[in-house]
Amino acid sequence: MSDWPETSETLIRRVSEPLDEAAWSLLVSLYRPVVYRMARRKGLSHESAEDVVQTVFLNVSRAIPGWSADPGGPRFRNWLGRIARNAIVNAIVRARPDRATGSTSVAELLNAVPGEVELSVVVVREAKMEAIRHAADRVRGEFSERTWNIFQATAIQGRPAANVASDFGCSVGAVYASRSRVTARIREQVEEMTDFWSDSK
């Protein structure tokens, strides 16, 4: 995997360079929706969740030059997850200034924010989904509308291949072939962008 153009470690090194706007843009496009959804799931309003996102990426931009993928150090997803968790906790506390800090409702909300191990799982799962969406958008133009629609009907909508074959006037084998081609290309694109599937980072 190290021969591919964008492993996560490579991307993180590039983000540390102030002039590499493309790397920063890719990092934000992959992780911004993850942080936003995490904040919204914890009951924060759209505006508060957007504030959390801004805070997280401001903190990341300041601290990322000092982050490294040393064997003894935290994985990037754990590090980002910790920053996100702290920002969410702070936002929850700020969103309820009229209640005592020790009130049951605030305590329950704070307890509902996942711990570091759970948060790492959430970040990885959400980031994988975002990487897949991002990759799908990037490769969509490589396929005919018919091939893409067959892929969507089977892989996204979960419709049976036989039904899709009937709708498109083709064989079940052709449906599987179309789905396989698109899926393989999306996976290639994801692997070029990041190594989420590797436990070594």
197 has a pLDDT exceeding 70: no
pLDDT-derived band at 199, boundaries 50, 70, 90: very low
Mean of pLDDT over the chain: 76
pLDDT value of residue 120: 59
Q: Report all structural domains of the chain as residue ranges with CATH numbers, in order of start.
A: 8-142 (1.10.1740.10)
Give pLDDT, residue 110: 46
Structure tokens at 37: 């959804």
Return d(Cα 201, Cα 77) in angstroms, integer. Answer: 9
Q: What pLDDT is attached to residue 6?
A: 39
The pLDDT of residue 119 is: 57
Contacts of 79 (CB under 8 A, 6+ apart): 67
Region 101-105 average pLDDT: 45
Q: Where are the beta strands (DSSP E) in the chain?
A: none
Which has the minimum average pLDDT: 43-47, 81-85, 109-113, 137-141? 109-113
Given a cut of 50, is residue 196 above it in pLDDT? no
Give the span between the Cα atoms of 23 and 25, in whole angstroms: 5
Who's near 147: CB < 8 A, 6+ residues apart?
A: 178, 181, 182
Give the percent of the chain with pLDDT over 70.
Answer: 72
Q: Where are the beta strands (DSSP E) in 6-102?
A: none
pLDDT value of position 118: 61
pLDDT tens string 40-83: 888 888 999 999 999 999 988 888 877 766 666 567 777 788 88
Token pair of 94, please?
Answer: 């700020």
What pLDDT score does 123 carry? 67
pTM above 0.75, yes or no: no
Instruction: Identify the pLDDT of residue 74.
Output: 61
Distance CA 139, CA 98 (A): 49
Helix axes 116-139, 76-95, angle to 10 degrees: 110
Query: Which 3-state string (H, E, C) describes 122-172?
Result: HHHHHHHHHHHHHHHHHHHHHCCHHHHHHHHHHHHCCCCHHHHHHHHCCCH
Q: What is the largest CA-CA distance in the chain?
A: 65
Work out the end-to-end distance of the chain between its first and last CA atoms, rounded to an integer number of angstroms: 12
